[in-house]
Amino acid sequence: MRRALARSRGAVQGQPADLYEYRADAAPEQLQQAEFLEYRPQPLQQAPRQPAPQRQVPQQQPPQRQAPQQQPPQQQEPNVQPRQRQPEPTQPQAQPQFQPELPPLSSITFYVFTRNSAQPGILHVGDENSFFSSGFDVQRPTKVIIHGFGSDVNKPMMVTMKDAYLSAMDVNVLSVDWSPLSARPWYPVARANVDVVGPRVAALLDWLAGHGASLGSVHLVGHSLGAHVAGIAGANVRSGRVSRISGLDPARPGFRDVALPRRLDAGDAVFVDVIHTTAGLLGMEDPIGHTDFYPNRGVMRQPGCTDLGPRCSHEKAYKLFRDSIGQEQYEAVGCDSMQDAMQGRCRGRPVVMGERASGTFPGIYFAVTR
């Protein structure tokens, strides 16, 4: 009984845990007796003290009412964190700083060279005055020469190719100078601009066709990146199909897994011939034309090249083609596969490589040159 009384006193003094412990191990009769013995001598404490806990309950409720006031900050916290994470898309700003702004399309210049004038004319698509003053003759065949990375209209590839054509044939030579879009040292920018220049060349050819030029007498010759410019141009011509595209060691970096029509392909012209001289390195190794030539196995180091790098071998493609415009003749033999051509194990039908190549016998060919 003393234990029950002590326990009940603890409960009266605001210790409900003590009372709970008592009720857990004492019989209900003992608890009632304890309460009766405790509060009977002091009847005034019965009425006031029983409501007292009830009055304290509402005093404890305000904190409970404030709890929802504390919840909004908790609910806002997840909203605040994402806001701090959203600025993290600063990754685009962390991109390499080597990509300058693309120059305007006016940076592409179309020079016209003929036997009739020592000075070149310049064509501006849509400008009728430039067409009539350029010296372009719609009755002549047209050779379109397109340079690659880091080159321009005054570099050896463009000058010697133009001179070789004008010396051997009475033709229009269109030299496409896109040097502001292909300047060193930013190869990724030049590669991206191939997609810009190709359609512009196509627009030029469509414009010339509108003035009476025959696409059946148009031959595009492109070196490295210029080979893909030629291919994209051929794929985008709307007024017909160009007669021929010659790809001279078409660039491999940035084009290995590119889907058509964003690179040179056999479908870009009636006849597409390709010369590989740094296959698998600077140039594409896979056969991508109707006729693919692998002179000297198609890899560096090409004959006459003594440097340790691939540049000389890469340029060998246009030099072989340039020499074939004149009197030089290169005979190639047919191969069963690209692997056979790159190993020199070919004994097939002989054909001519270079300017005088034809699409009569498409396939893969191996040649030996100086």
* Residue 224 is a catalytic residue: yes
**How far is residue 162's CA from residue 322's CA, in Å, rounded to a whole number?**
9
Nearest Cα to Cα of residue 350 among 339, 336, 335: 335
Cα 295 from chain centroid (whole Å): 31
1-24 in b/e burial notation, b at 16+ Cβ within 10 A?
A: eeebeebbebbbeeeeebbeebee
Q: Dihedral of the CA atoms 299, 358, 255, 159 (nearest 10)?
A: 80
Residues β-bridged to residue 273: 246, 291
Nearest Cα to Cα of residue 173 among 141, 147, 127: 141
**How far is residue 182's CA from residue 93's CA, in Å, rounded to a whole number?**
24
Cα torsion angle, 249, 306, 354, 219, sign: positive
* Residue 249 is a catalytic residue: yes
Catalytic residue among 177, 219, 249, 323: 249
* Residue 314 is a catalytic residue: yes
**Between 187-210 and 225-236, two packed helices, what is the crossing angle to 10 degrees?**
40
**How far is residue 299's CA from residue 296's CA, in Å, rounded to a whole number?**
7
Give 225's contacts (C-beta < 8 A, 6+ positions apart): 148, 149, 182, 190, 191, 194, 251
What DSSP letter does each residue of 310-349 carry, written as one string? SHHHHHHHHHHHHHHHTT--EEEEEESSHHHHHHT---S-
Catalytic residue among 147, 219, 223, 314: 314
Alpha helices in the chain (DSSP H): 2-12, 16-25, 28-39, 46-49, 51-85, 128-133, 156-168, 179-182, 187-210, 225-236, 311-325, 338-343
Give 358's contacts (C-beta < 8 A, 6+ positions apart): 271, 351, 352
| Pair 346, 333: CB distance under 8 Å | yes
| The residue type at 287 | P
Residues serving a catalytic function are 224, 249, 314
